[in-house]
Structure formats: structure tokens, C-alpha cells
Chains A and B, each alone.
Chain A
Amino acid sequence: MPERSGRRGRLAAAGAFSLALIALVVAMPAFRPGLHQLFPELREPIYARASFVTLTIAHLQLVAIATGFAAAAGIAIGIAVTREAGRAFAPLARTVGTIGQTFPPVAVLALAVPLLGYGSAPTLAALSIYAALPVLEATLSGLGAVPADARDAAKGLGFSAWTMLWVIELPLAWPLMLTGLRNATIINVGTATIGSSVGALSLGSPILEGLSASNPAFVIEGAVVVALLAITIDRWFDVLEDMTPVI
């Protein structure tokens, strides 16, 4: 059965990337001799202010919390403006969802600092707002793609608005919504690095330190872990999307 082996292949890929990520993060100090040879002029080729395990966990926390807020806000707003009472706000939400994503995340961060100070708070705020936009857009597209005749039939057969949302609209919108969540999460994995510029601990810390102290090894270490983290999460979303029935 090709379907089955496809699923097994996806799971294997996600598992392999996860193991590679864990191995890289845990064994980072073991790369010292190699990096020393590569950058002989550097006195300290491995970022050591915090272990890569700590940095990765902090980074994942930022991403998880921010994506959670983003998902809740994006989905809630998407649902609200597609109900009869909120329909007037749908064009506005759609515009904000589309244009908002062309706004650079650094700018959102810069705007958040005066309000929330330094540390993880402005980072979480910026990431949440920024990642809510693709979720909102995906929710609107998903709910908008629910066939009008299915909604007419459901209403005519006596479904309440709530039941219709729960058993007809959201299940039909879910594949598109999941794609939006996937984009939001991947964007956050990358964007969370800039949180370190306002004092949040993340995998951006070695990158920024490396840039300011002219230590390319730090930059490479941070960037490689971020990239591997993004790929790993993306592979797990692949598994999740594969498990979602497509009609």
C-alpha cells in the first residue's frame, strides 16, 4: 500500500531530523577541535554563555507560546468575522491579514519594546501578532471555501449555527488552517532569533554575539541549530497534514 509507506517515510524523516537535532545540540562542545581548525584565530570557537540545550529549549518555549497565542487569536478572529454578526469586519480582517505579513517583524519588535520593555515579553508579543496573520488568513480561506450549498442544506435541515461551525465548517476548513499554522510556526522559529536583540534568551543569542564580537563560529552554530529546528518542525507538520483526511 503506497499510502502506508508514504506515511511511514514521513514519520521516519521527522524522527531522523529530531534525532539529528538532539545529537547536534547535546554534542555541540564536541565540535570544538574541528571549529578550532576552521577558525584558528578565534580564542573560543564554541558559544558558552548558555548551553545549546538551554538555548534550544528557551527558543522552543518562545515559539510554542507565541504560536499558541497566534493560533488562538487568528482562529478566533477568523471565526468571528465569518459569523453573521461579524461579517462587516471580514474585509478589514482580510486586509490586515494580507498586508500585515509584508510588515517586517523587526519593526513589530521595535514597536513592542517601548510598550513592554526588554526581555521575552516584547518578543512574545511581536511573534504572536506576526504569526497570527497567516493563521487568520488561512482560517478565512478555509472557512470561505466551505461550500455554500452544504451550509444552506445544514441550516435548512435544522443545524444550529454552533453545531454547523463545529461539525461542518471547521472540519472542512482544517486542512487549510493547518497549513497556516505550519507557516506561522516556521516563521516564528526563524523570527524568534531577533528576540535576543531585545534581551530574550534564544538561539539568536549566539548569532548576535557572534556578529558583534566578530566570531563567525557562533553565528554558524546558532544558524545551523535554528535551521535544523525549522526543518524538524516542518517534517512533523508534514506528518500531521498527512494524517488529516483530504476530501
Chain B
Amino acid sequence: MIQIDHVSKTFAGTQALADCTLTIDDGAFFVLIGPSGCGKSTLLRTINGLIAPDTGTIRVRGKDIATEDPERLRQSIGYVIQSVGLFPHWTVAANIAAVPQLMRWDKGKIARRVDEIVALLRIDPALLPRYPHQLSGGQRQRIGVARALAAGPDLILMDEPFSALDPVSRVELQAEMRRVHAESKTTIVMVTHDVGEALSLATTLAIMRAGRIIQIGTPAAVVGAPADDFVAQFLGGPERFLHLLDVLSVGAAMSAEPPSGAMPRIATSASLRAALSLMMAEGAQALAVGDGDGASVGTLRLDAIVAASHA
């Protein structure tokens, strides 16, 4: 979907990007993480041409974006920012319809699409005639995401979209994004400085420091084998493995061995964190793994949880 090739950018003496090269595959949930000021936003904003690199090329869908019409390019890419930036004088419905309107879809098609998006993101239709200042922060960002998805882009860029939200809204919207990604196969590039959020959402994780990409890999691979001390420390030092418990599911660590009758039960889809917590609560070293119908499909042992982090 995206090839970034030897991209550098300097702002008035500050080097924001130093020779960044990376590829983002179709359908990836690509999360860029790193300390504040390391160049994450700058890198993200080069992808839709909001920032032109000093050197290097960026290809989106195989085409060098420097040769494309910038407005067309941006209309084809969803864009979500931390402060949302809803248009305050437009209703929620008009905000959601912004990009289809720019692309001059006909009225009927826009109305149908707004209905679809409202259903997809579980937006209360009563909000549609309201204005942004009448919404809570969580509702506002949900509308921000809806606006980015409205024209059906195959690529969405998100710059710390949930950082300013209360914990409940944040978890809800993270779950929505995970679901949207799984259902639509949209490629998502998200910037965050929240390690837990990054590990729980990413299919691929990239760690940046001082304008450079330090490491790219799956969350488990990066946590299991950090490229250097900085990466290990940034991900939480020795405790970084605990984040993986949220990411990995029981299904990924269980064995097919039939459980004994006395074991506490847990679902295949539960996280290893939930499994570990259940073991601690029950004083058990092993759990019976059940599928949705209540039939047992295997056993999860404590040592398998330990091993899963290194898979």
C-alpha cells in the first residue's frame, strides 16, 4: 500500500525525519510509536502530502505521490487527528458527509452512505442533526472517525486519535477500530505514544526515535527481541511482556490435550491476561478451553502462557 523510500525532512534546523525507509502492506494495522517529538506526526503527514519531504519518495498504491493531485490523493485517504477538528458550524450529518460532498456524490448516495457509516460505527442517529459542541469528547472522535471512513478509503491515517479521550471512550473506540479493520481490510496507519494501545492494535509495529525507524515487526516479535536497550525500555522494560498478555488470545497458546473435569473454563477468544487472572483467582495451573457452544476443545497451561510470549 505504501512505500517510503529514504525520506528525510528538516524544519529550520530540526531534523524531524532522518532517512526513513519502510513498507506498509495492504490490510496492515500499522502503528508508529516513539517518544514525543521523534517525528511520528511528520512521517504520517508525508503520506498524504501535508508535508513534503526534503529528499526521498513516497509511493501510495504504487504511485509516487509527488506526481499526484494532492487534493484527490487526500480525498482517497482517511485522516483522523487527536483534536478531531469537526467543522463547528456543520451538523454531525454534514460533517460525516464532508468528503463525499467534496467528491460530488449525488444526494441519495451520500444519504445512504451516511446511514451505513452510522450503523457501522454504532452512532446514535439522534446525534445526526446536532452540532459538534453538543457532543462529548468520545462522541466527537467517533464522528471524526466516521468522517474519515465516509468515502470508503482503503487507507486511513490516524494521529494519536484516542490520546485525549477518557479511558472508557478510548477502549470503546479502539475496539471499533479493531472491528472496522478486521471487517473491511482497510489499511490503517496510526501514530500513538501509548505502548498498550500500540501493542493491542498493531499487526505491525514501528518504533521511532529522533527521526529514525529503529525497529519494525509484529508486537510479539518486537517485545520478544527488542533491537536495543532503548526499545526494550520504551516498551516497558522487563514488564513489557505483560502488554503481550492483552494481545495474545487463549487460542494461540492452548494445547489440544483434553482437559480434566475439575479445571476452570475459559473461552478460546479470551486474552491471556484474562486467563492468567482466572488462574490466579482459582489457584489453578491449567484451564479447560471451551468453544462458544460449551464443548471443551483443549487445555491451557501456565507454562504455555510463558512460552507464548516467545512464539
What residues make up the interface of A, taking CB atoms closer than 8 Å to B?
147, 149-160, 163, 168, 171-172, 245, 247
Contact = CB atoms under 8 A, between A and B. Distances in A.
Given A149-B81, A158-B75, 12 more contacts: A150-B85, A150-B87, A153-B79, A154-B85, A154-B87, A155-B74, A156-B45, A156-B74, A159-B71, A163-B102, A172-B89, A247-B88
Interface string B86-127: 111100000000110010000000000000000000000000
A156 B50 contact: yes
Chain A: interface secondary structure?
helix
B87 A149 contact: no
Contacts of B48: 156
Contacts, number: 63
Range of interface residues on chain B?
A: 20 to 34
Interface string B50-63: 10000000000000
Interface of B: 45, 48, 50, 71-76, 79, 81, 83-89, 98-99, 102, 131, 133, 144, 147-148, 157
Contact of A150 (B75, B86, B99, B157): B86
A245 B89 CA distance: 8
A245 B94 CA distance: 16
A149 B71 contact: no
Given A157-B98, A160-B71, A247-B131, A168 B87 contact: yes
B147 A157 contact: yes
A171 B73 CA distance: 26
A157 B99 contact: yes
A154 B194 CA distance: 26
A147 B75 contact: no
A247 B94 CA distance: 15
B81 A156 contact: yes
Contacts of B148: 157
Nearest to A171: B89
A150 B102 contact: no
B81 A153 contact: yes
Contact of A156 (B72, B79, B131, B133): B79
B84 A153 contact: yes
A233 B50 CA distance: 46
Given A163-B102, A247-B131, A247-B133, A153 B86 contact: yes
Q: Kindly list the 10 A-B residue pairs having the minimum CB-CB distance in the complex, ordered from nearest.
A: A153-B85, A158-B75, A158-B74, A149-B85, A156-B79, A149-B83, A150-B85, A158-B71, A247-B89, A247-B88
